[in-house]
Structure 1
Amino acid sequence: MKKELWFPSSDMLHEVLPKLSTKDLLKVKCVSKGWQGLISDRSFIKVQLKKMEPLTGFFYQGRYQWCDEDYDCVGFIPIERVTTEVHINVLDFLPESIVILDSSHGLICCRSSFPCHVPAIYICNPVNKEWRKLQWPNPSRESCITLVFDPFKNPIDSFTNFKVVIASQNETSTEGDGYFSFDIYSSATGEWRSSGEICLCNHNVLKKGCVCVQGILYWLTDGDQILMFDPQNEISWLIMVPLPTSQFNLTPEMCMGEAEGKLTYVLISEHGLQLWVLKDHFTSQWDLTFTISLELLEKENYLLKVAENLASNCNSGIPWIGTLAFKDNTLLMRVAADIYVYQFETRKMRHLCSLSALAPKPFFSATVVPYTMSLVPLS
């Protein structure tokens, strides 16, 4: 007697499939046309987005420090596997070479690689290879461009709405004081407009990327201050970092990130590895939630002479340890010419790859963007 194949009912599919991760959904999407149609439907994606998706990995793109050209090669470092296989040029479905800038809920913001005849900004999803090209007003290689996308505040029922914000540094014509101005693109209108808000600041934004926390944008500057801009209310101000660099004998390494809906500040110095959480941005109040000495970090993770190497390399221009990016209690860091991931919850460090695996030329200066997969459509 021939056995009949069993397939779950439609009700069961709607109940079970949204609980799967995006990575697992991509695998079962090929089961049938019905499954493919269901998983590609906006209403299904909206429900599946409510599930907490784990951090997938980090995009890494080397950057020239003393050159006006961009380095085209983009590497992706997955973190979920014990053995890490670096993926190169996963964004090559875009029509030109790009520089990666930011990521939010699976969408990636990038720009044309310079030199370029008509530079543009792209919003894309590498999972479904969909993308949108935006006109870029007053293009500049130094522009601070970031994506603002929250599928929970702006449901993706019919369209996927997002904003792009450009922070530009300017000087007053009279006194020579510096300030930042902001341009905002809305996908709902398809237009750019200049915000009336400016932020007086004489410091430069560090090339550490932007962190978006609950719709508010943060950029780290070279003056112990963080530039903040709220695109919803169009308000900006400056936040002091937890500890000024003048308190350290060695130049500290730092980066910002996000965890549990709060802005975080990771610091490595002669005092060890520290994790600060912003408690109140109006008063620049921070809480120190984690600290570990260099000696204990060395002992727990079988590193050699951390403090000694950190001190001996202080004048080389390339720190022995570098903080690259932070997201959800996961720190991507560089130790010498190797990339590691450090989990604050377990206090464990794991080797991922060497710099040479990310690009033909190992770059110590790079743009690093945390990334979480999603099925969000752009078409």
Structure 2
Amino acid sequence: MACHTRWACRVDACRVMKDRFPVVVRLLGEIGNEDNADRAVEAKGLLAQLDANFLMKLVVFSDILTKTSQLSNMLQSTDFDLAKAVELTETLISLLEDLRNNPVSFDILWGRIENTVEEQGFDIDMAVSTQRKMKRRLPEHFRDSVMLESVGNLGRSADGDSDTMGTDVKDQIRVNFLYPALDRIISEMNRRFNKKACNIMRSLPSFHPQSPILLEYETMEGFATAYNANREDLVHMHSVKRLLQRREKEGQEPPHSLLEFANSLKPFEEAFRELYRLAKIALVLPVTSAACERSFSTLTLIKTLVRNFMANSRLSILAVLSIESHRVEKSGLVRGQICERAQ
């Protein structure tokens, strides 16, 4: 189950805010007219920020987060396919780069922005602030000189104003808001899903006994190269396949997980030393941090302001029960009995 406290899951909040924007504005207006001064001041402050500029950025974020949500949900699931995750990552990066570099893609997004802003009754030409910056005073020793260009102020025109003030709203949103957001996202994705990481992710399914590409050397080659494995020792992996098939014919339970596969290789460690070493690396290799972040999120949901006075032992027990809920259900014990035994 995906964790609802991650930033990638904010796509639902953006969608609801965009779809319920008139309701939110009307509600804040009603709260602003109440007798409660604190609530009224806070509501009026929020209402002042819900302008056309906010609405345009909301549409942009909704579009970007909608594209990234599918990959985020896949990476947070417990049984996702790593090879498919790599393909989806490459597709997502391509979509984001197309949105940044292809004018046609941005025109489609801009059409949705115009329709949303006009539906809410805003004037899109007044969306971006047109406040003019103060002119820079010329130093006294340059009064009789002619200044052609100043270092560090290439974005200013000759009279000291910002060049972007002469552009339209569409260009300002694209250059000042969309480009920085997309550049940051694309750069971070390229850093996390670099070529080496993607090759490792493509190779990991070849160690899983339930995978159709189990022990295929072509798929495992990227993983073996990353961890300096002796390729000559990996050529005879077909012998491992025959060993697993023979044990299954003899009535032994075949391995169903990567851990069981690594344990089945342990008695034959001397014969398949490199394969066993790679299997252990694949077993402990952390692919995502979703499980760790899900644990932190569980703690914040358990220890709230109302339940602040809680001993560490009880907090630890409740956290384990929540995080390992699937094991609790299989045990057949109710959570109260487990708490009593733990104490």
TM-score normalised by the shorter chain: which range applies?
Answer: under 0.3
More strand by share: 1
Q: What is the TM-score with the length of structure 1 in the denominator? A: 0.20
Q: What is the TM-score with the length of structure 2 in the denominator? A: 0.21
Compare CA radii of gyration and give the structure with the larger one.
Answer: 2
Q: Larger relative contact order (C-alpha < 8 A, sep ≥ 6)?
A: 1
More helix by share: 2
